[in-house]
């Protein structure tokens, strides 16, 4: 049977690591592994599983978790739930990454479709690109 500790993050273990981080100001390797586990497992959800840039999306989510780890304050909640807090960070990071990639995709497609074209005399002619429509 597989060890569940490799696949799941509990609020208790994550709370302990967050407390250590808040006291020392240094993030432990264990907390980093927890961020990676949360992001990786969440990326395997149906909403995000089919993207070709999934690995980059996970890396961006882990980076975002590290950036905002100092904002988690267990004293502001009745029941501290760091797992839910960082899962939401991953979710929003994934959505932002997808939005960014779609924007780049549209720009790339437009530029690809509007490259230099040959006219009747085999001379290159430039087509203008309407950058306002790319927004």
Question: What's residue 54's pLDDT?
Answer: 92
Q: Is 58 a member of any domain?
A: yes
Residues spanned by the domain of 52: 4-100
Q: Is 74 a member of any domain?
A: yes
Q: Is 71 a member of any domain?
A: yes
Cα separation, 131 vs 115, whole angstroms: 14
Q: Is 123 a member of any domain?
A: no
Q: Is 119 a member of any domain?
A: no
Q: Considering its fold, how many domains does the chain have in total?
A: 1
Q: Of all residues in the chain, what percent carry a pLDDT higher than 90?
A: 53
Q: Is 28 a member of any domain?
A: yes
Q: Is 108 a member of any domain?
A: no
Q: What is the pLDDT of residues 18-71, one digit of tens each?
A: 999 999 999 999 999 999 999 999 999 988 888 888 999 999 999 999 999 999
SS (H, E, C) 68-86: HHHHCCHHHCCCCCHHHHH
Mean pLDDT of 95-103: 91
Question: What's residue 7's pLDDT?
Answer: 62
Residue 75 pLDDT exceeds 80: yes
Residue appearing with tokens 């949360």: 38
Q: Is 116 a member of any domain?
A: no
């Amino acid at each position: 049977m597989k060890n569940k500790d490799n696949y799941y993050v509990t609020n208790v273990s994550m709370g302990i690591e967050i407390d250590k981080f808040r006291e020392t100001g240094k993030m432990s390797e264990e907390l980093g592994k927890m961020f990676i586990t949360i992001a990786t497992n969440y990326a395997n959800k149906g909403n995000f599983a089919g993207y070709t840039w999934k690995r980059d999306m996970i890396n961006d989510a882990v980076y975002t978790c590290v950036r905002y780890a100092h904002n988690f304050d267990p004293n502001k909640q009745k029941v501290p739930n760091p797992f839910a807090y960082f899962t939401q960070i991953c979710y929003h990071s994934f959505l932002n990454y997808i939005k960014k990639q779609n924007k780049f995709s549209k720009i790339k497609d437009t530029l690809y479709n509007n490259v230099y074209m040959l006219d009747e005399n085999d001379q290159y002619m430039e087509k203008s690109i309407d950058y306002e429509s790319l927004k």
